Amino acid sequence: MYNLLKGKKGIIFGALDSKSIAWKVAERAHEEGAKFVLTNAPVAMRLGSITELAEKTGSEIIPADATSIMDLEDLVDGAMKILGGKIDFVLHSIGMSVNVRRGNHYTLQDYNFTKTGFDVSALSFHRVMSVLYKKDAMNEWGSIVALSYMAAQRVFPDYNDMADNKAYLESVARSFGYFFGRDKKVRVNTISQSPTPTTAGSGVKGFDGFIAYAEKMSPLGNATALECADYTISLFSDLTKKVTLQNLFHDGGFSNMGVSTAIMEGFMNSYEPTKEDVIEESKKSDKK
């Protein structure tokens, strides 16, 4: 360990269980010498095992629903009181789509569900920053990170309305990041992470195929939750002070690939042209 976060104070949203990316970030932040408050939605306190993480890392928990300004204000006030001053780092690791949960197709959304998912997964990031900004709760050269996915830029049909939520999330990192940088010298970035087997990740239809495909496509293979935590720690540390307004891909190279030999071989092994395909191809070459 490198003591990268020695003396730093933070708030970590979204640790549900030991698979959660936020869980790994909390463990790594603790190892690197940080003190932090853990938070999650009140319902997640019952479903998950956050108290175990709190004991392990010597942290306190303040429940907060990220859709409630009042909860967030209490959280930020409470965290500053517990930690004895302003905050150096914040992790937003929150995502949930009701349409995905209920199996609604992207083209046939229930818009009340869409609104709820947007509120939880996307608008919450603006809300968190707005409360931190208004309360002047961040130290200079502090760092705010949210987690995103590449469906914000490219089509992944089963990612559903979360794709649109992530696009908004990344945009807010830039727009709010400008004001946070200009006025408070705080940086704001999103990390666009590989598919990862967590509760939120596994909820996406066809996740097993999704993750296996990304693994075969990426020259370095998929990034794990722990590797994502390592990257996040670097963004919280003083080694990345001038990195801001970025969406940073942490995906083993997936986002810059067209096709890999492994994917191509798999495709050709299972590809048997039909009689119609052969006729169609020969017509095309006749025309040339």
- Angle at which helices 111-118 and 162-184 pack, to 10 degrees? 30
| Burial class, 103, CB count within 10 angstroms (exposed 0-12 / middle 13-18 / buried 19+) | exposed
Binding mask 134-173 for ligand NAI (x = CB under 6 A): -------------xxx------------------------
Q: How far apart are CA 192 and CA 170, in angstroms?
A: 9
- Closest to ligand NAI by CB, 113 or 185: 113
117 binds ligand NAI (CB under 6 A): no
- Angle at which helices 225-236 and 21-31 pack, to 10 degrees? 50
- Binding residue for ligand NAI (CB under 6 A) from 198, 222, 232, 247? 198
Segment near ligand NAI (CB under 6 A), from 54-62, 128-136, 188-196, 237-245? 188-196
Q: Is 11 annotated as a binding residue?
A: no
- Closest to ligand NAI by CB, 143 or 193: 193
DSSP assigned state of 193 = E
96 binds ligand NAI (CB under 6 A): yes
44 binds ligand NAI (CB under 6 A): yes
Which residue in this structure is represented by tokens 């017509």? 283
Out of 106, 149, 168, 178, pick the active-site residue: 149
227 binds ligand NAI (CB under 6 A): no
Q: Where are the beta strands (DSSP E) in 47-201?
A: 60-61, 87-92, 138-148, 187-193
Classify strands 187-193 and 138-148 as parallel, antiparallel or unpaired.
parallel
- Binding residue for ligand NAI (CB under 6 A) from 4, 29, 37, 41? 41
To the query of whether residue 271 is one of the catalytic residues in this protein, the response is: no
DSSP assigned state of 121 = I
67 binds ligand NAI (CB under 6 A): yes
Which residues 243-282 are close enough to bind ligand NAI by CB under 6 A? none
Compute the 3-state secondary structure of the chain and give helix, strand, coil in percent, each to the nearest 5: 55, 15, 30
| Burial class, 131, CB count within 10 angstroms (exposed 0-12 / middle 13-18 / buried 19+) | buried
224 binds ligand NAI (CB under 6 A): no
123 binds ligand NAI (CB under 6 A): no
- What's phi and psi for 270, nearest 5 deg? -100, 0
93 binds ligand NAI (CB under 6 A): yes
Q: Is 14 annotated as a binding residue?
A: yes
Q: Which residue type is seen at 47?
A: L
26 binds ligand NAI (CB under 6 A): no
94 binds ligand NAI (CB under 6 A): yes
**Gyration radius of the chain's alpha carbons:** 21
Q: How far apart are CA 203 and CA 40, in angstroms?
A: 19
79 binds ligand NAI (CB under 6 A): no
To the query of whether residue 111 is one of the catalytic residues in this protein, the response is: no
Q: Any idea which residues carry the catalytic annotation?
A: 149, 159
State the binding site for NAD(+). Answer: 14, 20-21, 94, 166
Instruction: Kindly list the residues in this chain that would bind ligand NAI in the complex (CB under 6 A).
Output: 13-14, 16, 20-22, 40-41, 44, 65-67, 93-96, 120, 147-149, 193, 195-196, 198-201
